[in-house]
């Protein structure tokens, strides 16, 4: 995410701005609060001599030219034969790569800033997500009610900088969490009312949580589907198998929160995160029981979201996560103390669970399951938007996916799940120009995914370094 576009001829960009605005009748004019981060904005743009990693899993194509017209990809082809319109602004991207904008599905607009405290950080997080290459995201759980729907609308109207957001309703959860920000459902009828209410308020997605009952979950899934909303869950009280049979669309956290292997699991009761994880840590990933659960999820078309980034922060022996230097100093110090304590831990279940659950995610993917990626900036902190989205892709490669497979999980798979593959998620003529320009070649060295220079959303190029600089040292305050 270092600034690195200095070699590009951008001086001409400003002259095109007025023309570009008039050409885009369907897209809102960008407010000054957004425009300050815009590096490239022109109605006809050619990205020349660039390596294209298109998000479909196909091999990287060298020396390509992408023509963008009015925010959409007009053509992609060999640079030697590409037709560049006379009016185009040309950016020579020799040595660089372009991947689709990331489509990440376990994101949040809040962060743990103290014990039991989740601060709403909509202003800094939306900028960090965009800076890290995320052009579309789902908030997998909402702790800010109308606030999260409002920021989504502000971004759509061009008033604020950030990704397109699939805005999730407040959590569907039963009694047991003990967090004042999260409502406790009384019964299935209330689950239906909550789905209806938040749908009408503008939410487009649903998330159930650890203490929901089977009746409430089933009611929420059915009511959501009636209204065109998909439902995902971080389960505990309900097993993965039970939820798959009910028609759930997606499960969060890979297999890390499955209670399917708890021997004396009582229906509708969460045995607690500890017993669930202890049972999972004791399981043989190659056993018939695990293979059968994987097959069951695939047969029911349940997508699985990998969130290795948050679990990495719980696991001893893992590197300091990227991006913590953007945090407010006090919030950063809290995380560093926790990180140090994690390293000293000799009895952490994650020492066993982390490698095992990763293998299960890869096995699910290899068996044909739909794997999605997200980061979950919660836990005990240290999962920083943007930076952790890149880290999530790196961790999938470390787990056993190829770089091209991992990039597809973080782009086209997310777009397909969200029902937006017709407009984003891969680099194909006709789609929105949601693109990330990277130094180097992430198809060969996945860590190059961190080397973001410009992020195009709807054909407008945002300066990654500028977005980060605007919040650096203050993340935790706003």
Least Å distance, CB 320 to Zn ion, is 21
**Minimal distance in Å, beta carbon 28 to Zn ion?**
30
Stretch that binds Zn ion, among 129-137, 217-225, 361-369, 376-384 (CB under 5 A): 376-384
Number of residues that bind Zn ion (CB under 5 A): 1
Q: For Zn ion, which stretch binds (CB under 5 A), given 61-69, 289-297, 373-381, 385-393?
A: 373-381
What's the closest the beta carbon of residue 208 comes to Zn ion, in angstroms?
12
Cβ-contact 107, 129 below 8 angstroms: yes
- Is 148 a residue that touches Zn ion (CB under 5 A)? no
Residue with CB nearest Zn ion?
376
Residue 54 vs 376, nearer CB to Zn ion: 376
- The nearer residue to Zn ion, 49 or 391, going by C-beta atoms, is 391
Least gap, CB of 268 to Zn ion (angstroms): 22
Taking residue 221's Cβ as centre, other Cβ atoms within 10 Å add up to: 24
The yes or no reply on residue 376 touching Zn ion (CB under 5 A) is: yes
Residue 100 bridge partners (DSSP): 435
37 or 256: CB nearest Zn ion: 256
String of contacts with Zn ion for each residue 249-268, x by CB under 5 A: --------------------
Cβ closest to Zn ion, residue 139 vs residue 443: 139
Stretch of residues binding Zn ion (CB under 5 A), selected from 119-127, 142-150, 371-379, 407-415 = 371-379
| Identity of the residue, 50 or 353, whose beta carbon is nearer to Zn ion in the bound complex | 353
CB of residue 139 to Zn ion, shortest distance in Å: 9
Residue nearer to Zn ion on the CB measure, 312 or 376: 376
Q: Is 107 in the site for Zn ion (CB under 5 A)?
A: no
- Cβ distance to Zn ion smaller for residue 91 or 140: 140
Angstrom CA distances, 356 to 350, 360, 363, stand at 9, 6, 11
Minimum Å gap between C-beta 313 and Zn ion is 13
* Nearest to Zn ion of 387, 462 (CB atom): 387
CB of 457 to Zn ion, least distance (A): 24
Which residues of the chain form contacts with Zn ion (CB under 5 A)? 376
């Amino acid at each position: 995410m270092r600034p690195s576009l200095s070699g590009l001829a951008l001086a001409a960009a400003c002259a095109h701005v007025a023309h570009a605005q008039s050409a885009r009748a369907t897209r809102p004019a960008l407010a000054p609060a957004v425009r300050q981060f815009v590096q490239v904005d022109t109605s006809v743009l050619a990205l020349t001599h660039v390596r294209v990693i298109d998000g479909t899993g196909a091999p990287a194509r060298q020396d390509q030219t992408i023509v963008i017209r009015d925010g959409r990809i007009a053509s992609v082809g060999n640079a030697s034969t590409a037709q560049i319109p006379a009016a185009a602004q040309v950016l020579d991207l020799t040595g660089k790569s372009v991947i689709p904008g990331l489509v990440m599905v376990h994101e949040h607009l809040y962060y743990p800033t103290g014990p039991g405290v989740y601060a709403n950080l909509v202003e800094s997080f939306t900028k960090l997500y965009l800076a890290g290459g995320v052009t579309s995201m789902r908030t997998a759980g909402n702790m800010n009610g109308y606030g999260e729907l409002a920021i989504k609308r502000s971004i759509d109207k061009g008033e604020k900088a950030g990704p397109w957001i699939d805005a999730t309703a407040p959590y569907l959860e039963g009694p047991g969490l003990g967090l004042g920000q999260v409502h406790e459902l009384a019964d299935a009828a209330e689950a239906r009312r909550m789905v209806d209410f938040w749908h009408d308020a503008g939410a487009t997605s649903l998330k159930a949580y650890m203490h929901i009952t089977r009746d409430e979950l089933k009611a929420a899934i059915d009511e959501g589907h009636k209204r065109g909303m998909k439902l995902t869950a971080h389960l505990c009280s309900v097993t993965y198998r039970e939820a798959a049979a009910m028609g759930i669309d997606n499960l969060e956290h890979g297999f890390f929160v499955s209670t399917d292997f708890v021997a004396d699991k009582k229906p509708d009761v969460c045995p607690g995160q500890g017993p669930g994880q202890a049972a999972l840590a004791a399981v043989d990933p190659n056993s018939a029981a695990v293979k059968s659960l994987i097959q069951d999820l695939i047969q029911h078309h349940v997508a699985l979201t990998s969130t290795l980034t948050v679990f990495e922060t719980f696991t001893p022996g893992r590197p300091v996560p990227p991006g913590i230097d953007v945090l407010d100093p006090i919030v950063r110090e809290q995380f560093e103390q926790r990180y140090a304590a994690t390293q000293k831990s000799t009895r952490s279940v994650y020492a066993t669970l982390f490698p095992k659950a990763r293998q299960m995610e890869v096995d699910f993917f290899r068996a044909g399951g739909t794997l999605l990626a997200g980061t979950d900036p919660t836990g005990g902190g240290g999962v920083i938007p943007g930076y952790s989205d890149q880290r999530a892709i790196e961790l999938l490669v470390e787990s056993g996916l190829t770089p091209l497979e991992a990039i597809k999980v973080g782009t086209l798979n997310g777009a397909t799940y969200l029902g937006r593959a017709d407009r984003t998620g891969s680099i194909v003529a006709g789609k929105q120009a949601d693109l990330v320009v990277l130094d180097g070649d992430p198809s060969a060295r996945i860590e190059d995914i961190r080397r973001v220079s410009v992020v195009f959303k709807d054909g407008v190029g945002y300066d990654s370094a500028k977005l980060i600089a605007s919040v650096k040292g203050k993340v935790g305050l706003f």
